[in-house]
């Protein structure tokens, strides 16, 4: 039985090569950049990244009573301006 690998050998990375080390270092650096938000969870991280008001409101309601919050809001009503 012969094992056939898909794709061209020209596109494969050689094991132990300099390109493989560059890829490894870049993946480690990328994961280190994401480490501070790893404990937040996807929804909270997305909220901080996008600044979505609805997500912030849901978090406020969920944590109401646990801490003191002050909310300052400047908004425009799109219907009446």
Give CA–CA dist 64/29, Å, rounded: 37
Tokens 């969920």, residue located: 62
CA–CA gap between residue 81 and residue 78 (Å, rounded)? 5
> d(Cα 41, Cα 57) in Å, to the nearest integer?
17
Write the pLDDT tens digit of every residue in 2-61: 766 777 777 788 888 999 999 999 999 998 888 877 777 777 777 767 777 777 788 778
Q: What is the largest CA-CA distance in the chain?
A: 74
Residue 64 DSSP SS3: strand
Which residues share a beta bridge with 64? 67
Domain chopping of the chain, boundaries: 1-81
């Amino acid at each position: 039985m012969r094992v056939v690998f898909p794709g061209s050998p020209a596109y494969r990375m050689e094991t132990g090569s300099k390109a493989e080390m560059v890829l490894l270092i870049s993946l480690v650096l990328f994961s280190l950049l994401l480490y501070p938000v790893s404990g937040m969870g996807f929804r909270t991280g997305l909220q901080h990244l996008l600044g979505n008001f609805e997500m912030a409101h849901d978090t406020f309601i969920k944590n109401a009573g646990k801490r003191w919050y002050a909310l300052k809001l400047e908004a425009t009503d799109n219907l009446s301006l």
